[in-house]
């Protein structure tokens, strides 16, 4: 190489070095330092392995943790399965909330939803799981009032309200080499469903639903986001972000490449790319000049990212971290007053979204706007029973019965004294239920056997069978079957 060639080579090398240095400098200069905070999902320091997240139409956060479904109120997570009649979670796998006030829960053997207008549970589908037992659930996603579920066999379930449609025409396309991969994204008129090996499909929900299979776009796997200008934004895992337009695939060098990367989009059309140390925020108009954020502490190994309004919620094996990207902290979750002991004894949801719950350190009523009122005097409430749409019958420690009225937000004695007799001075109630055929009759179970309470005469009697009291059992828990006038005793 001559002297002139050496000079040109060195000049180009310097330019490349300066360009790299300048790009790195701009990244550091443009990156804003931001602190995340962890949601206080428990007060005892317990590990919270969060499987899935959803935000309902009232701005409350729902999550699946260790086989249970919780609703986060701002201070702690309340086990929703404790307070909804006719439903007990059975291995929940995914959760999604719709704009019409439903929260859908995909479980191991069924699909159902909680109607937030009256806090009732409804089964949508069970037969599919029995017909295709080998289908493994992968994801559930919601858009407005629509929900779609995907399985590794290629089956799709589309749900609107109580109606469901099982779509099977993708099944022949799914093989060991080309299977469902990342969750879908809703486009203008269709769901975009990514497959492995770069294949993708469009699902068009309508009176006659259909799916359209598309050939590979020379990309291994990823999450596809349709762009308004045409084409797709593709999240390629650890390889970063790509843009596919006019059959051309372009790597977006301004985004991160990392083994642990997830992408999420909010309802406003903005995206975030999340790594353990950084967050990149962008939309279609800022693909070439995204906003960079450096986290003040490294995120644990995360498995789910939810982008809601101006906040990014990252679920991981230690709970949920919140990364605020807006200029202010919106008051979304209303906290309970501090409770020293969070062990929940019972929850009752009223028809306006307000609810009453009891713990070892006090009873709490939360009105529809999220304002909480604590009743510290009522430390141990063993059982709750609805008397009407406004009143709850409370079974307290020592056999004391009280009534909570949501209209006055007060608790008053049901009658003076206790349920006990001189021979049995204390009755520790563990459960209460109402008769279907005789609404004035209440069945009560506790340490001292079974009792009946007549709401009209307010008379309390021990329950007998063939002249014998149910008092020889040490401890009784009653599981009441709501649709028949009977009960099962388990001891």
Residue 112 has what pLDDT? Answer: 93
Q: Which fold has domain 344-490?
A: Methylamine Dehydrogenase; Chain H (2.130.10)
Residue pair 16/9 in contact (Cβ under 8 Å)? The answer is no
- CA-based nearest residue to 463, from 422, 435, 425: 435
Residue 468 has what pLDDT? Answer: 59
Residue 30 has what pLDDT? Answer: 56
Residue 360 has what pLDDT? Answer: 65
Distance CA 296, CA 317 (A): 19
Distance CA 134, CA 244 (A): 34
Please tell me the number of Cα atoms within 13 Å of 164 on its side-chain side: 21
Q: What is the 3-state secondary structure (H, E, C) of 188-254?
A: CCCEEEEEHHHCEEEEECCCCCEEEEECCCCCCCCEEEECCCCCEEEECHHHCEEEEECCEEEECCC
User: Which tokens is 191 given?
Assistant: 């769901």
User: Which tokens is 231 given?
Assistant: 């084409």
Q: What is the dihedral of CA 267, 315, 190, 290, to 10 degrees?
A: 50
Distance CA 149, CA 94 (A): 9
Question: Which three-class secondary structure state does DSSP give residue 463?
Answer: coil
Q: How far apart are the first and last CA of the chain?
A: 93
Residue 482 has what pLDDT? Answer: 29
Contact residues for 101 (Cβ-Cβ < 8 A; gap 6+): 56, 57, 115, 116, 117
Cα 341-68-370 angle, rounded to 5 deg: 60
Tallying the residues shown for the chain, one arrives at: 491
| 271-294: pLDDT as tens digits | 999 999 999 999 999 998 999 999
Residue 485 has what pLDDT? Answer: 34
- What stretches in the chain show pLDDT beneath 70? 1-30, 43-45, 75, 128-131, 176-177, 218-221, 327-345, 359-361, 379, 397-399, 417-430, 446-449, 464-491
How far from chain centre, in Å, is Cα 216?
33
Q: In what order do the strands lie in the sheet with 137-143?
A: 137-143, 146-151, 156-160, 163-167
Main-chain phi, psi angles of 173, to 5 degrees: -80, -20
Residue 136 has what pLDDT? Answer: 84
User: Which tokens is 258 given?
Assistant: 């990392």
User: Which tokens is 10 given?
Assistant: 């060195």
Distance CA 243, CA 284 (A): 11
Distances from the Cα of 3 to the Cα of 10, 11, 15, 77, angstroms? 11, 12, 18, 72
Distance CA 167, CA 158 (A): 8
Distance CA 379, CA 385 (A): 17
């Amino acid at each position: 190489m001559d002297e002139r060639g050496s000079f040109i080579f060195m000049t180009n090398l310097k330019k490349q070095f300066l360009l790299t240095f300048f790009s790195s400098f701009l990244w550091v200069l443009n990156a804003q330092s931001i602190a995340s905070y962890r949601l206080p999902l428990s007060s005892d320091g317990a590990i919270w392995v969060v499987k899935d997240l959803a935000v309902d139409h009232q701005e409350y956060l729902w999550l699946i943790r260790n086989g249970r479904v919780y609703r986060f109120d701002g201070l702690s997570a309340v086990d929703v399965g404790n307070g909804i009649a006719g439903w007990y979670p059975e291995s929940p796998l995914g959760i999604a909330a719709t704009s019409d006030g439903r929260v859908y829960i995909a479980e191991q053997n069924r699909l159902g939803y909680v109607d937030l207008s009256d806090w009732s549970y409804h089964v949508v589908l069970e037969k599919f799981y029995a017909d295709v037992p080998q289908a493994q659930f992968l994801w559930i996603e919601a858009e407005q009032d629509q929900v779609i579920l995907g399985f590794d066999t290629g089956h799709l379930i589309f749900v609107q309200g109580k109606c469901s449609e099982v779509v099977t025409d993708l099944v022949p396309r799914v093989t060991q080499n080309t299977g469902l991969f990342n969750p879908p994204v809703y486009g203008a008129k269709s769901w975009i469903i990514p497959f492995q090996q770069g294949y993708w499909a469009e699902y068009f929900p309508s009176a006659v639903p259909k799916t359209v299979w598309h050939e590979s776009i020379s990309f291994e796997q990823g999450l596809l986001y349709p762009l308004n200008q045409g084409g797709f934004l593709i999240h390629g895992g650890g390889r970063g972000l790509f843009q596919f337009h006019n059959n051309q695939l372009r790597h977006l060098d301004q985004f991160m490449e990392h083994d642990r990367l997830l992408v999420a989009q909010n309802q406003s059309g903005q995206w975030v790319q999340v790594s353990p140390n950084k967050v990149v925020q962008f939309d279609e108009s800022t693909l070439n000049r995204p906003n960079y954020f450096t986290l003040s502490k490294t995120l644990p190994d995360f498995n789910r990212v939810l982008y809601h309004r101006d906040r990014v919620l990252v679920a991981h094996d230690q709970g949920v971290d919140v990364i605020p990207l807006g200029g202010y902290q919106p008051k979304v979750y209303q906290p309970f007053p501090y409770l020293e002991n969070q062990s929940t004894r019972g929850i009752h949801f009223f028809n306006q979204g307000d609810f009453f719950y009891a713990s070892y350190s006090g009873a709490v009523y939360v009105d529809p706007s999220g304002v909480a009122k604590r009743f510290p005097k009522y430390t141990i409430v063993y059982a709750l029973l609805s008397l009407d749409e406004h009143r709850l019958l409370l079974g307290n420690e020592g056999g004391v019965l009280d009534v909570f009225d949501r209209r006055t937000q007060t608790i008053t004695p049901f009658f003076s004294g206790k349920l006990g007799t001189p021979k049995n001075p204390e009755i520790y109630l563990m459960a209460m239920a109402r008769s279907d055929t005789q609404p004035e009759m209440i069945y009560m179970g506790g340490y001292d056997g079974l009792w009946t309470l007549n709401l009209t005469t307010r008379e309390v009697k021990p329950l007998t069978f063939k002249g014998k009291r149910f008092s020889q059992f040490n401890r009784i828990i009653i599981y009441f079957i709501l649709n028949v006038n009977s009960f099962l005793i388990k001891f």
